[in-house]
Copies of this chain bind each other. A is one copy, B any other.
Amino acid sequence: MNGARALVRTLLSSGVEVCFTNPGTSEIHFVAALDAEPQMRAILGLFEGVVTGAADGYARMAGKPACTLLHLGPGLGNGLANLHNARRARVPIVNIVGEHATYHRSLDAPLTSDIDSIASAVSGWIRTSRDAQSVAMDGAEAVAASYGPPGQVATLILPADVMWDAPAGPADPIPRRLPARPDAARIEDVARTLRDSGEAGTLLMNGSALGEEGLALAGKVAAATGSRVLSDTFVTRMARGAGRVNPWRVPYLGEQALQLLQGTRHLVTVETKAPVSFFAYPGLPSELTPPGCTVHTLAEPAEDGVAALAALVEALDATKAVPEVASEQRPPLPTGPLTPRSIAQVIANLLPEHAIVMNEAATAGSAIPGMTATSAPHDWMDLTGGAIGQGMPAAVGAAVACPDRKVLSLQADGSGMYTVQALWTQAREELDVTTVIFSNRRYAILAMEYGRVGAGIPSAATRSLFELSRPDLDWVGLARSMGVEGARATTAEELARGLERGFRESGPYLVEAVLDG
């Protein structure tokens, strides 16, 4: 058995069952090992941004890592943006990067580059395997490391000769470290503050705390103390919809976030940190915690937020408190032109039960979170790191992780073009993903930001840098050219028809929702 096969077998016994990949010559022995270990499902992406984004979406829904298989430094570079998003999502990924044979590196062949430097920007753990004898153990450690806590990108760099050398043997799985329970003193402090301060507190949550259980516990805290429950602006995964506690999300724009948080005296963070603005703006604050507000850490991102919330409920004597949950209430299907509001209504009306929503709709999708809070129960995932081009790849990964659920991919057009190749993988793997392209034919956020930073009115030449027009993109044509059927919608009725078709049949489908103005 060579190193590659020992590694693949170890990954399998460690619970890694899916490999998203675009391999090259230096990874060919790993590919050959997949032949001998067919339990590992290998899924091809036509660009590495698809590969890494799929690994992110998979981890969010499967709760465990997939592995990638990338071709040297450039392949890693191509996948870097979505690894950045995965890092911000704190999900486990075993990120495998091929490398030249150990003795070949010093020759500086054309594809040689400093893989470590590139990987360090996104990885919580990096190792280059030394030889075939140790690679299986490296793999087991990479899987354990990917779990953190918190979850992280564990990058394993594999020189080609480490893969092809023999003999090698598999290694035993290494038990993952579980998130620690926050210490009692902190919980007691938060309980005392919420109970005795006489001022409403605010819980700010992300991570595992946004699952159904954590939200229900947070709802009990809120019911017992009059506190509010907020989520971060962008969440890794959140249980939403009817029957769930639906937190407000901190708005993207700093001014609006400050308004929401105004008057907060006690901010209690659960698997997140105090809010900061996404970008800096001249003359505006970057930190969004209001003056006079104390931040209390209930659980760090590396800690078990659900256990912390359960302990807090106990400490507050609130086990019998009744959280406020959404009752199912779908807006009627609208008619007429497509607007951000009518699109949100159509989606909120038609969203299937237990759907997985991947949201990279950007500005044109701003009405959807509010409108779907009372839709059928569903899971929601956001673009977590701001590196656009995550949505359609993450939808791939979510659909692979949950073949029995409908995936709804809400995708801005500008962002969608970044990893448009994901549609092909959706077609090849016959994934049950319905994509809505928000086709406003511009980077609307940039036009908005141009005004916000005080740059005045852009010239036609500058405006053209924000516009996806001249020529317009034909999204239905793009999808069809990669094997995904679709339809164009210019009215709410057409959008509804398209979504119904997408949700009714299995396999991928795309609706281009054309917004004017």
Binding site for B on A (CB under 8 A): 21, 23-26, 28-29, 31-32, 34-35, 38, 42, 44, 46-47, 49, 73-75, 77-78, 80-81, 84, 88, 100-101, 103-104, 107-111, 113-115, 117-118, 120-122, 160-161, 164, 234, 276-280, 282, 286-287, 384-387, 389, 414, 417-418, 420-421, 424, 427-428, 445-446, 449-450, 453, 455-456, 458-459, 461-462, 464-465, 468, 470-475, 477-478, 480-483
Contacts and interface: CB of A to CB of B under 8 A. Distances in A.
Given A384-B110, A478-B481, A32 B287 contact: no
Nearest to A475: B481
A31 to B, nearest CB: 6
Nearest to A113: B121
A277 B276 CA distance: 50
Contacts of A278: 25, 109-111
Contact of A279 (B100, B386, B428): B100
A386 B110 contact: yes
Contacts of A161: 280, 282
Nearest to A417: B46
Kindly list the 4 A-B residue pairs having the minimum CB-CB distance in the complex, ordered from nearest.
Answer: A471-B483, A77-B80, A74-B387, A477-B481
Contacts of A46: 414, 417-418, 468
> Which of A25, A103, A234, A446 lies at the interface centre, i.e. has the most chain B CB atoms within 10 A of its CB?
A25
> Which of A100, A113, A459 lies at the interface centre, i.e. has the most chain B CB atoms within 10 A of its CB?
A113
A234 B109 CA distance: 12
Contacts of A473: 424, 481-482
A361 B130 CA distance: 35
Given A28-B453, A475-B481, 16 more contacts: A21-B465, A42-B462, A49-B78, A74-B386, A77-B78, A77-B81, A78-B78, A100-B280, A104-B276, A107-B276, A107-B286, A111-B279, A114-B120, A118-B118, A161-B282, A481-B481
Contacts of A114: 120-121
B74 A31 contact: no
